[in-house]
Structure 1
Amino acid sequence: MSEVAECSLAATLQPTQSSRAGANAALSRFAPDAALFVLKPWRALIALAADWGLIAACLAFAASWPHPLTYLAAAVVIARTQLALAVMMHESAHGTLLRNRRLNDALGQALAAGPLFLSLASYRAGHIKHHLAPMRDDDPVAAVFGIADYPVSRARLVRRLIADVCGVSYCVGAWRVARGDFREILPKAAKSSAYIVWEAVSILATNGLLFAGLALCGHPWFYLGLWLLPAITLLPLMGRVRAILEHAGLPAGDDQSLNARTIVAPSWQTFLFGPHGIHYHIEHHLYVRMPFYHLGKVHAQLSNAQLLPRGNLYTSYTDVLRAVSGSDKEAAVVRS
């Protein structure tokens, strides 16, 4: 990572209560309750344990009532919970899981990133860059998730969602990363040889234990059918819907309340696409050091103060999908 990126990363991980509101004077003056920035590690640990408990329950459900519909239901909830693990990795990247940085990173890699074959350090480097300038030309999130060209036609959006659920998007994305298509956009994380080994061990150990446990229970194929398959089909679909909600079709700018969206109330859609409060995305971008379990409270404070942009507040993900898609002519007019 470059010296500038290292400094930006260090600054982002420091405790701070200031917002990223740019020239928005009223929002810049607003100060959330200081208690909302205080970490409560037990809440993060319970959330992480609940994620793994839900995964175990889905696998037990599928084993107890073998049926195609049971398998489908289990796959959907497991994919959703894989997304929840990705959100916990995201929390760890911001240093908001545990107070101790080493333990925060170890937990995030071992129980969130590793099971998904991901590197917390690499993710953190790209994600911090995203927070510095959302939706600009070199935003890693916009590039990797392909949300820089919205609004798009309804037909194009449907094709992308179908490609996700068929596993095409995952395979194409993995190929593009391996080919180096994002080399200029994704910052390289500085890793020691020992850390690279630790990442590999975390990936192999968690997935190996999962496979071994399923094999001992007489269901080794569950690892392929109910863990890996959802990860390359349903998880990309849910991840795309989440990414669209967060930033697609919004302008770059210093006031980060204007280039993110929020779903204002929990529902079955936020359960699927916005676990662990990630649907309060304006609030997260304004206060990156606020843990996920306090975002709902700061949302209420900002709403009461009428400081949130009404046009960026939605009641459902389906409303957002409609807003960023339309006929070919409508999409072309909005982009122009």
Structure 2
Amino acid sequence: MIGASELLTPQQLAEVRKRSDLRGLWVVFHAWAVIFGAMAVFVWFPNPITFLVAVAVIGARQLGLAILMHDGAHGILCHNPRLNMFLSQWLCAYPMLAETGAYRRYHLKHHANTQQPEDPDLILSAPFPITRKSFRRKMIRDLTGQTGYQQRRAQILNALGPSDWTLSRRLENYWNKLGRPTIAQAVIFAILAASGHWYLYFVLWLLPFLTWQQAITRIRNIAEHAMVPDNSDDFRNARTTKANFIERALIAPYWVNYHVEHHLLMWVPCYNLPKTRAFLIANGFGPRMETKGSYAEVLRMATSRPDDEDQRGKLVHNARRQRVTGTMNEGFQPTDGTAA
């Protein structure tokens, strides 16, 4: 593990590690403003184009909420610890049916053992590259809601507990695991119902959550760790992907594409990652950092396995999926077959 003082000067370190309550509040407010703003645009101009745009924009901001929860789990979303946890839990994690503490326990194991045998996410990055046919099947499952439905079904069944439990015990277990996220869903529904548009909860909250958010979570996860050049090199066991305006709006919100920088200095808030990259490049580390020019370039790599290997890949995927399913019941977990 490379020490921070080997990467940045004391002045640079002091600058990038600054946590701001105002900026933390702003990015969370921004996510929700974009979500409700996209809904409003569809209500004002209801047509297929504004609907599809709203689904994509809202799904991306839902991923954004998960990303901001990730910063909250690291304790870096805000300077004030109480504000950090409140925003992370009630405005980011719970609306995404996740929980900051459960995610933190899982995620820190990933940071401690990145791309090593003990990495809980290694089994998710290992399958790549895959065939185009395999990737197409995954995207169809994501975009049609099959992946999201299976994950949420497993999560709810896990929260309810075994069927032979008494009803009171099952309800108590459900409350302990999903009670607060359920309250968050009820609040979102109530806000939309109070606006006179209750149906938006189903068509522009749940639908993006189960479809577009799933698909771009897969793409983002592939970009972060799949097919990295060197699992033992801190500069090359994660990947930063350059993102244009459209990609930042629809695939990689809130600087999530700066993943090498995050792994090198995981206590840097997401809003300071671009500055961190600039400092690292200025200090001569640019050529060492694994970087790709776009998400399209990463996906070309990820789908470079010949299609005649597709049947064998399906058998490996199905066996792997059975082992992975149990990790998806708490916190914010990646979609099947991707790296986190």
Name the CA distance, whole Å, in 1 between partners of 2:297 and 2:261.
19
Identify the residue that residue 101 of structure 2 maps to in structure 1: 121
Could you tell me which amino acid in structure 2 is paired with residue 169 of structure 1? T
For the residues of structure 2 that align with 1:233 and 1:240, how far apart are their CA atoms? 11
Q: Structure 2 matches for 1:158-237, cutoff 5 A?
A: 158-174=136-152, 200=178, 202-237=180-215
Q: Determine the structure 1 residue equivalent to 2:335.
A: none
Q: Give the distance between the partners of 1:63 and 1:160, measured in 2 at CA.
A: 31
Match of 2:325 in 1: none
Distance 1:324 1:157 in 2: 8
CA-CA distance at 1:256 after TM superposition: 2.3
TM-score (norm 1): 0.79
Residues 114 and 199 of structure 1 are in contact (CA less than 8 Å); yes or no, is this contact kept in structure 2?
Answer: no
Q: Which residues of 2 match residues 1-336 of structure 1 at below 5 A?
A: 20-21=1-2, 29-32=6-9, 33=12, 34-143=14-123, 146-174=124-152, 200=178, 202-250=180-228, 253-264=231-242, 266-309=244-287, 312-328=290-306
SS at 2:19's partner residue?
A: coil
CA contact (8 A) 2:142 2:211 kept: yes
Shift in CA distance, 260/100, structure 1 to aligned 2, threshold 3 Å = same
For residues 173 and 56 of structure 1, the distance between their equivalents in structure 2, rounded to whole angstroms, comes to: 25
For 2:117 and 2:132, locate their aligned partners in 1 and report how far apart those are by CA, in whole Å.
24
Give the C-alpha shift of residue 257 in structure 1: 1.5
Distance 1:203 1:173, change over 3 A: closer
- Measured against aligned partners, the alpha-carbon deviations of 1:128-161 in whole angstroms (never above 9, x if no partner) come to 1111112234433344xx3321111122122211
Q: Which deviations, in whole Å up to 9, do the C-alpha atoms of 1:69-112 show, x marking residues without a partner?
A: 22111111000100110110000010001223333222200000
CA distance in 1, matches of 2:138, 2:307: 19
Following superposition, the deviation at residue 52 of structure 1 comes to 0.7
Residue by residue, what CA displacement relative to the aligned partner does 1:146-184 show, whole Å, maximum 9, x if unpaired?
33211111221222112111112223344566788xxxx
Distance 1:252 1:172 in 2: 33
Structure 1 residues without counterparts, runs of 5 or longer: 1-19, 181-193
Between the aligned partners of 2:307 and 2:191, the Cα distance in structure 1 is: 53
Residue identity matched to 2:62: Q
The structure-2 alpha-carbon separation of the partners of 1:161 and 1:311, relative to structure 1 and needing over 3 Å to count, comes to farther
Q: Which moved more, 1:206-215 or 1:317-326?
A: 206-215
- Assess if the C-alpha contact under 8 Å between 2:242 and 2:295 holds in 1: no
Of residues 267-276 and 277-286 in structure 1, the stretch that sits farther from structure 2 once superposed is 267-276
Provide the secondary structure at the position in 1 that maps to 2:238: coil
- Give, as a single letter, the amino acid of the residue that structure 1 aligns with 2:272: H
User: What letter is aligned with 2:58?
Assistant: I
TM-score (norm 2): 0.78
3-state DSSP of counterpart to 2:76:
coil
Deviations 1:275-314 (A, max 9, x none): 1111110000000001111110111121233313467211
Q: How has the CA–CA distance of structure 1 residues 296 and 328 changed in structure 2, closer, same or farther, with 3 Å as cutoff?
A: same
Task: Classify 1:210/1:174 alpha carbon distance in 2 versus 1 (closer, same or farther; 3 Å).
Answer: closer
SS in 2 for 1:259: coil
Aligned pair in 2 of structure 1 residues 29, 311: CA closer, same or farther (>3 Å)? closer
Q: Determine the C-alpha separation between the residues in 2 that align with 1:178 and 1:218.
A: 29
Alignment-derived partner of residue 190 in structure 1? none
Sort the Cα spacing of 1:141 and 1:271 in 2 relative to 1 into closer, same or farther, 3 A.
farther
Match of residue 191 from structure 1:
none
Q: State the shift of 1:44 in Å.
A: 1.3
Aligned-pair CA distance for 1:206: 2.5
Alpha-carbon distance change, 220 to 179 in structure 1, aligned in 2, over 3 angstroms: closer
Matched to 1:167, the amino acid is G
Q: Is the 8 A contact 1:89 1:108 kept in 2?
A: yes
Q: How many residues align?
A: 295
Aligned CA distance change for structure 1 residues 203 and 179 (closer, same or farther; 3 Å): closer
203-212 or 115-124, larger mean C-alpha shift: 203-212
